[in-house]
A = this chain, B = another copy of it.
Amino acid sequence: MSGSSYGTLFKISTWGESHGEGVGVVIDGCPAGLSLKVADIQKDLDRRKTGQSKVTTTRKETDRVHILSGIFKGKTTGTPIALWVKNRDADSSKYEEIKNMFRPGHADFTYFMKYGFRDYRGGGRSSARETVGRVAAGAVAKKLLARKRIKIIGYTKQIGPYIAKKIDFKQIEKNIVRCPDKKIAQKMVDHILHARKKGDSVGGVVEIIIKGVPAGLGEPVFDRLDADLAKAMMSIPAVKGIEVGIGFEAATMYGSECNDPYTYKGKKITTKTNHSGGIHGGISNGSDIILRMVVKPTSSINKVQNTVTTDGEKALIKVEGRHDPCVSPRAVPIAEAMAALTLIDHLMRHQFSQLK
């Protein structure tokens, strides 16, 4: 049970590493009868792939998905869907010279301590390449959610000191940082390129809005919707914090400010404010679900850093190669995928809340 499965009813198991035969996922729990094509999945993989713009790594992976099972005449059969993306641009030679060193910020040291040795080629299983499987499975989850009019929108909220103010969903895919604020987007791009020029990297914040969620999703007391979303997001490489709704601002608020008073919108009960981010007591209340995650600056930088070797020596390391100067733009589809996987699982679990 090395932790590579996610979900209880819509269950995925990812496999694969940076420099092996490829990466993949098995989806166990997709109902029969869903029309599913390669293009449905490829669309999101293309948003995640390397080399898509000047703010991502220049490595080039085509990331073509192969459907190995679970589809018959264009529809899901109700049995496991196996998806596979072959590894292509995998030059592992450059990792030979640092194979005895631990890259700061990476999981090299912890994998070494956990497993007794490690696949040093590109981080092996700890590589963000593993998220290919999540994005592929997430695309299937999104298709199921769309049938229930649930939509997940992800974007870059912040990079360095630049915070999006205007949230215009139509702008998101029109700029290379996936920021919904056109003006701030340009500042974010400049900030990233400036850091890259210095061989450095920057952090950011990704925000997820989930629209159309019916009230009632979430399984108290442990499998709350917010708790499961927190786990989902925190399981993405480089994420160091999660907020739902008002988040950390709640520390300085009074109850009379923070509570969301109820009101009617037509015949539907709703709240006047949405400080809760659409979740009360771990259960969705029908308002938009709002969550944020912070991604730390990419650990791989083109600067000399202090480290140690497996042989007991202090050393200097410079991680050569092509790195993302900021994780955020490519993290957006990954965060969407994890949100989608969490939502579909809870939508299914919720079916049993009441007698029918």
Contact = CB atoms under 8 A, between A and B. Distances in A.
Given A4-B80, A17-B79, A125-B220, 10 more contacts: A1-B349, A2-B78, A2-B219, A109-B269, A110-B284, A114-B283, A126-B281, A203-B251, A241-B250, A254-B297
Nearest to A77: B119
B24 A68 contact: yes
A296 B250 contact: yes
Given A77-B119, A307-B261, A205 B2 contact: no
A69 B244 CA distance: 31
A301 B77 CA distance: 26
A138 interface: no
Contact of A3 (B71, B195, B224): B224
Among all A-B residue pairs, the 7 with the closest Cβ atoms: A107-B281, A3-B219, A3-B223, A201-B255, A110-B283, A231-B231, A255-B297
Given A21-B69, A78-B353, A285 B113 contact: yes
Nearest to A202: B254
Interface residues of A, number: 158
A281 B78 contact: no
* A6, A124, A242, A279, most chain B CB atoms within 10 A: A242
A54 interface: no
Given A250-B203, A314-B263, A298 B255 contact: yes
Interface stretch (A8-16, A40-48, A55-63, A171-179): A8-16
Given A105-B260, A221-B125, A355 B33 contact: yes
5 contacts: A16-B68, A32-B117, A34-B355, A102-B262, A264-B308
Contacts of A217: 114
A144 B119 CA distance: 21
Interface string A64-78: 001111111001011
A126 B220 contact: yes
A354 B240 contact: no
A82 B115 contact: no
Contacts of A286: 113
B9 A28 contact: no
A32 B126 contact: no
Interface in A101-123: 102, 104-107, 109-111, 113-119
A306 interface: yes
A229 B200 CA distance: 30
A350 interface: yes
A237 interface: yes
B124 A72 contact: yes
A342 to B, nearest CB: 11
B231 A109 contact: no
Contacts of A296: 246, 250, 253, 255, 258, 275
A53 interface: no
